[in-house]
Structure 1
Amino acid sequence: MQTGAVLTVSESKRLIAKGVAAHPAVQRALKSGLVAIAKGTTNSYVVEEILGKPIEKTNYCTGTTWPTKGSRAGKVSGAIPDVVLRNGQPVEGATATGSVADMKAGDVFIKGANAVNHALKQAGLLIGHPTGGTLGATLGTLVARRIHLIIPVGLEKSVPGDIV
């Protein structure tokens, strides 16, 4: 017998965030290392789960596409600074992108995605910055130093085709 469950997008993001917070690599880096959480809608839930306190989630987003009219207009301000944790403690004034320079193997960089093809195990990111945005600025270092890149993304962002 099989059962199914239907979750709202918010419920899905919360479940994903709980999984990211419990991930062994994240737990290790929280004890002894660096964890940087780039801004994003799903990552706002990750921040809440890791810090153990609520935040104004719409303020932990950048580069989002929102309607110009209606109840969501003007809600995103990006007012919450990036969350970077060293040995589980916040690093004041640090940015997610800038912290990569201090990372070593085993540290964790968390960056959300805009699209996912679960069957092909692909995640896609919309890059609006002329030099590649967050991932363009960090990917080389992440790979070279064997830093864990965790990309939390919900199935509401599913696309049927090859993303690459």
Structure 2
Amino acid sequence: MIELAVIGAGPAGLAVGVAARQEGIGCVLFEKGSIVRTIAGYPTYMTFFSTAEKLELGGIPFVVVGDKPTRREALKYYVRVADHFQLDIHQYEEVVEVVRQDSGFRLRTRRHTGEEREQQARRVVVATGYFDTPNLLGVPGEDLPKVTH
């Protein structure tokens, strides 16, 4: 059984994976595309509004040439972070269903080949980013003011 399943391997999902690794928690990230795929879709020469320091994860320095990081620098940086922490990332494996069970959660995933698999996880974090349409789970608390989708 997976201790912690993270849906999404963008910066937020990677941050959860890094924190889990630092705490010794077994963690698997599921990403329906490639790692930080949203950033890969940004314009080639795009520059972030945030400084590199605000985008850093896990204490790994984000060194950039200019004042603010570019798309290319961000892609290289986040892949380097994932490699450094040896994150277990299942790229091109979409989570299509999450079902609450007594022992945690059952996840149904679909690989890019069409193969479907079932995974068991004690805990789940949904970190799908702001470009995806949220699939509300119908669980208590998802409509609270402090919860965003």
Common fold: TM-score over 0.5 = no
Higher RCO by CA contacts (8 Å cutoff, separation 6 or greater): 2
**If each structure's strand is expressed as a fraction of its own residues, which one has the higher value?**
2
- Please give the TM-score of this superposition, normalised by the length of structure 1: 0.31
